[in-house]
Structure 1
Amino acid sequence: MATKRMTPGFSDQIMGLVKSLRADAPDCLASGAVDMSTGMLLSYETVDNHPPEVLDLLAGATLDLFQGRTVQMIEDVFKERRGIESDTHFFQEILVNSDNLTHLFIRMSDQQDVVAVVVCRKSVNVGMLFAQVRRVVKEYSL
């Protein structure tokens, strides 16, 4: 999918998105936005201090989850089998649980190269997490 041109207020929109995710996602410990076309973490908010190298790796890890080589191969096979010729991506949302945390990654609907990231306590109600984050993402529809 072609990337929409970034408007002058794009950074304000990204900062607003990240703030809203942090405020509205239940049990949220951190939120951010990753630009997969540049491999950059655009903005983040967290309740904790993290080493800079961890934050730097977040964008790369997000890119691997959504558009890593094997993920793209899977998408290409599905597109070929279904006769679809499109740049859109099949994988829109990914939920990852670690020992103590739940991580939710959601592509922005209009700006497919931007992924919203939310990190919550593992005890979070996953249904509420999806509902709130989807609502915020839809509201900011970059």
Structure 2
Amino acid sequence: MNPSTGTSSGNLSDRINSLVKYLRSEVPECIAAGAIDMATGMLLAVETIDNHPQEVLDLLAAATLELFQGRTVTMIEEIWKERRGVHTDRHYFQEILVNSDNLTHLFIRTESRDDVVAVVVCRKSVNAGMLFAQARRVVKDVGPL
């Protein structure tokens, strides 16, 4: 993967690993980045400055799946689509920002595959506008998965 040109090479796993590395290096105050498969709820790739137990990483993946495609969220999406006359399988929620006591977490669906969600974890001091701008740029620059 050449992130600067957006050209893709290699298999899906290589491209997802490149996305995660590029997010980790380009997003301000980023301490961790990952990618989750929304079809399985599995963590596809992760890069972090700290070591975390595998069970914590697995829970993050499961929580991401619930956040984007849990039963209640899916019901809300279907109601809004129905009321707006939208007939598509595209998910309504594309980005979710979560602030904890010390960290800011951005969850963002990739443009080419809405079944892959990138996760960026930054220090709470991050400028939210820059976080969104850089994460969106990286996802776009990396190109289709």
Deviation at 1:20, TM superposition (A): 0.2
> How many residues end up aligned between the 2 structures?
136
Match of 1:20?
Answer: 22
Instruction: Name the CA distance, whole Å, in 2 between partners of 1:96 and 1:123.
Output: 13
Q: Match of 2:130, as an amino acid?
A: M
Q: Match of 2:45, as an amino acid?
A: S
Match of 2:79?
Answer: 77
Deviation at 1:82, TM superposition (A): 1.3
CA RMSD across the alignment: 1.1
Choose from 87, 92, 102 the match for 1:90. 92
Given the alignment of the two structures, is residue 56 of structure 1 paired with residue 50 of structure 2, yes or no?
A: no
Match of 2:67?
Answer: 65
Deviation at 1:138, TM superposition (A): 0.7
Deviation at 1:8, TM superposition (A): 5.9
Choose from 104, 107, 117 the match for 1:105. 107
Q: Match of 2:99, as an amino acid?
A: N
Instruction: Name the CA distance, whole Å, in 2 between partners of 1:81 and 1:20.
Output: 38
Q: Match of 2:68, as an amino acid?
A: F
User: Per-residue displacement from partner, 1:21-71 (whole Å, max 9, x unpaired)?
Assistant: 000010000000000101110000000011111001111100111111000
Moved over 6 A (4+): none
User: Per-residue displacement from partner, 1:92-116 (whole Å, max 9, x unpaired)?
Assistant: 0000000000000000011000000
Share of identical aligned residues, percent?
Answer: 70
Instruction: Name the CA distance, whole Å, in 2 between partners of 1:11 and 1:20.
Output: 14
Deviation at 1:139, TM superposition (A): 1.2
Deviation at 1:84, TM superposition (A): 1.5
Instruction: Name the CA distance, whole Å, in 2 between partners of 1:78 and 1:125.
Output: 31
Deviation at 1:9, TM superposition (A): 1.1
TM-score (norm 2): 0.91
Match of 1:4?
Answer: none
Deviation at 1:140, TM superposition (A): 1.9
